Structure 1
């Protein structure tokens, strides 16, 4: 279903690849940028894009680690430490610039239509930053990390944002979740969903981390959110 395209970086420093999945028969109703975990554009992220294409969206997953090493693709069940080692080396502001370049490409591919974003883990954090720093039409973050340090940007969120929070997230402790609720519960554009007892990565497509019922519930909420805000 998918193909690879090349996108020019906004700063002129080079180009990066993006995985694109399109609905059968063409004519996508909107586009969705799929923002990777720390594991790169692996089979799970490509499958997320393929699933969105089946829902009628043009899904595009940019390789945000290209400045470190193009084409990084890791297995969450066996290469966690290798992935975590990449996190502090990743320039998040450059990542947002690359997401902005991807948004522009996606808009062109859907003839100026709406563009959403969905991200996981690191990508969930970037989805929040995308909501605050770009003209994205709607954003969703799954088990986003470090949002407590970004609450000062919440005033800049002008389009709908939804965050899925794993209640027993080893990377997002209870005190951080509390700050997220205190800072965002009353925000008119933000919706938070809690999943008590679940750990980070519960909505992954493949592997040991997935909790199927909860993943299906979260994904159904995401589908309804995009249906409403990308129409």
Structure 2
């Protein structure tokens, strides 16, 4: 079953909505799906639905709500891509992490206060997944093609629970120097695992559209599901 819920902001300001996909039986745990720069679109909702089919309670919060509530964009449509890039420039990432933290709180409450909560993010959401791992008490986190992690390595000491990052080696948004910095800064971290995907570009694990690369997407998703099974149940 799917529905839309309203979540209260931590600071008592504007509440926001989240798409929720519920499993058929008692949830194994909850997982927050952190959007790309295209909003909570069909691909992000499908990520939630797939997690629910695997037994997880899945939430996709509308993180762009301060800019334009309910926005949905298609990366294969050039005007949508340009609009998405503009939104990324306007987006307050620190507030985004606070809204993710509010979603963690809501998910834990839905689980009765004792269940585990993880998160998985894509693109901008991959960056926010890293920030969430460093700044909240999330139980396990995954980031796909995260952008700008080299500028966040100073926060790595605060990552206390498992984090997995999927890195396409031909990512046109994350150059080789940045990827090398990620490995140099995180390979020895006891809670972090990095996986490289040779020949793959940004967005390779999207559910729909031209960016998807099925073989690597399936490999990354299998690693993600095994990771969540190990750390969330």
The alignment's TM-score, normalised by the length of structure 2, stands at 0.98
TM-superposition CA deviations, 1:39-98 (whole Å, max 9, x none): 000000000000000000000000000011100100011121110010110000100100
Q: Report the Cα offset of residue 12 of structure 1.
A: 1.2
TM-superposition CA deviations, 1:124-159 (whole Å, max 9, x none): 000000000000000000000000000000000000
Q: 2:20 — aligned with what?
A: 20
Moved more, 216-225 or 72-81: 72-81
CA distance in 2, matches of 1:93, 1:121: 16
Q: Report the Cα offset of residue 163 of structure 1.
A: 0.1
Identify which of 114, 117, 121 aligns with 1:115.
117
Q: 1:9 — aligned with what?
A: 9
Q: Report the Cα offset of residue 14 of structure 1.
A: 1.3
CA distance in 2, matches of 1:47, 1:163: 20
Q: 1:181 — aligned with what?
A: 183
Which structure 2 residues correspond to residues 40-59 of structure 1 after superposition, within 5 A?
40-59=39-58
Which structure 2 residues correspond to residues 50-129 of structure 1 after superposition, within 5 A?
50-78=49-77, 79-111=80-112, 112-129=114-131
Find out whether 1:199 has 2:195 as its counterpart: no
CA distance in 1, matches of 2:38, 2:2: 19
The alignment's TM-score, normalised by the length of structure 1, stands at 0.99
Q: 2:140 — aligned with what?
A: 138
Unaligned runs of 5+ residues in structure 2 are: none
| 3-state SS in 2 of match to 1:5 | strand
CA distance in 1, matches of 2:71, 2:196: 31
CA distance in 2, matches of 1:188, 1:150: 17
RMSD of Structure 2 on Structure 1 (CA): 0.6
Find out whether 1:228 has 2:227 as its counterpart: no
Count of matched residue pairs: 230
Unaligned runs of 5+ residues in structure 1 are: none
Q: 1:149 — aligned with what?
A: 151
Moved more, 42-51 or 6-15: 6-15
Q: Report the Cα offset of residue 221 of structure 1.
A: 0.1
